[in-house]
Structure 1
Amino acid sequence: MRIVREARRVVRIVRDTRGATIIEFAVVAPVMILLIMGLSDLAYQGYIMSILDGAMQKAGRDSTIQGNDTTPSGAAIDQKVMASVWLVMKSATYVSSRKSYSQFGNIAPESFRDDNGNKVYDAATECFTDVNGNKTWDADPGASGQGGASDVVVYKMTITYPRLFPMAGLAGLSQTVTNSSTTYLKNQPYAGQVSYTPTLVCP
């Protein structure tokens, strides 16, 4: 009789599901929280990038106007871009760069005659087309700065800011995010363009 009572008690304990939800929640919650945090962080990065891209497009249009080719004007335009970013991420830092070219086709390494077929410029034996007049082969023939009238400019802004959630280190990720936005623009023809006629340079 005692054995029967004990067996019934064991069956009741086995069938008792009270408290099971708490255990299930304890198992599932950490995974769900990390997933939600990760998705939120990605969404926030996308939001900041959309703001940066929009501000860069506006800055690109402003940069093409006469008088904005000076260093102070460029710094003021940078500040306008970052003013939009700082509305949503006050601690963001930035680095900007501008390179000018005489035309869109020059935004590439200077072409060269690949005599030996290795696809690498060999200064000792191969000729190249000098598009910027410095008599040296350049992987990037652009000149620093906004350039002048009718010049093509590559304007790049790189921002760095802390992640939305500081626990990113648990997943082996950096605690900061670095994103870049680039815009290509052509300065208005407010004067005659100062350009160099490409010439063939041989050793």
Structure 2
Amino acid sequence: MTYRRNLARDTGGVTLVEFALVAPVLFLLIFGIFDIGHGLYLRSVLQGAVQDAARGAGLESGRLNQAALDERVMLSVQGVMPFVEEDDIDIVRLNYENFSDVGTPEDFDDTNRNNTYDDTECFTDRNDNGQWDPDVGAGGLGGADDIVYYEVGVRYDRLFPLWSMIGLPHRGLAQATTVMRNQPFGEQAEREAVRICP
């Protein structure tokens, strides 16, 4: 009987049991904070690198230094994520005549009124590529006074095992964009809009 009373009053080992109950939630919270923090830091570094590269690309020498600017973005990202390879980085450059054109689709005659371009409808080819596009932007950096949309996407392996615990993909994606006007180092080129009817 005395043994049972002593056993009921014994609190040794309670801390271990409590820790076993709390530890999974605690580790999940800690890994989550580190994973989110690291992702935010990578996005911040990437946004700064993209802004810097866009400023350099807007100069008259930007077209000649495009590879060097891309390399600087890559080195900035690798400073935070050393295992990111060149194939993990996607760079998109589109140029426009003015800011209001960014993200605007090319005009088309919606003959069947379905609010969607169909292959049989006439359209205005503003980026001179011979096909209808959901964005009027032309590829590349453009020329003097053109507007440039610059986007960099980086696929990276998550550092912490949180992704496997809550069903996230192992690879994360960080993106940064900026829209800037090229320097007025010359006259802005006129863009011709060609009407195409298939």
Partner of 1:75: 67
**RMSD of equivalent CA atoms:** 2.1
Percent identical: 41
Question: Which structure has the larger Rg?
Answer: 1
Query: Does residue 47 of structure 2 align to residue 37 of structure 1?
Result: no
SS in 1 for 2:80: coil
Q: Specify which of 106, 113, 118 is matched with residue 109 of structure 2.
A: 113
1:89 to 78, 81, 87: 81
Residue 74 of structure 2 aligns to a residue in which SS?
helix
- Consecutive unaligned residues of structure 1, counting only runs of 5 or more, are 1-5
* 1-structure distance, mates of 2:59, 2:168: 41
Q: What does residue range 98-109 of structure 1 map to in structure 2 within 5 Å?
A: 98-107=93-102, 108-109=104-105
2:58 corresponding residue in structure 1? 64
Range 146-155 or range 103-112, more displaced? 103-112
Preserved contact between residue 53 and residue 73 of structure 2 (Cα < 8 Å): yes
1:68 is displaced (CA, Å) by: 0.8
> Are 1:148 and 1:194, in contact at CA under 8 Å, matched by a contact in 2?
yes
Q: 1:187 to 1:169 in 2, by over 3 A?
A: same
| 8 Å CA contact 2:42, 2:174 repeated in 1 | no
Alignment size in residue pairs: 194
TM superposition score normalised by structure 1: 0.85
| 1:114 Cα deviation after fit | 2.5
Q: Which residue of 1 aligns with 2:4?
A: 10
Change (3 A) 1:134 1:178: closer
Name the CA distance, whole Å, in 2 between partners of 1:28 and 1:116.
Answer: 62
- Could you tell me the TM-score, scaled by structure 2's length? 0.86
Q: Is the 8 A contact 1:106 1:131 kept in 2?
A: no
Change (3 A) 1:135 1:174: closer
Runs of 4+ in 1 over 6 A off after TM superposition: none
Q: Does the CA contact (< 8 Å) of 2:153 and 2:174 recur in 1?
A: yes
Pair 1:92–1:82, CA change in 2 (3 A): same
Matched, 1:168 2:160: no
Which letter maps to 1:51? V
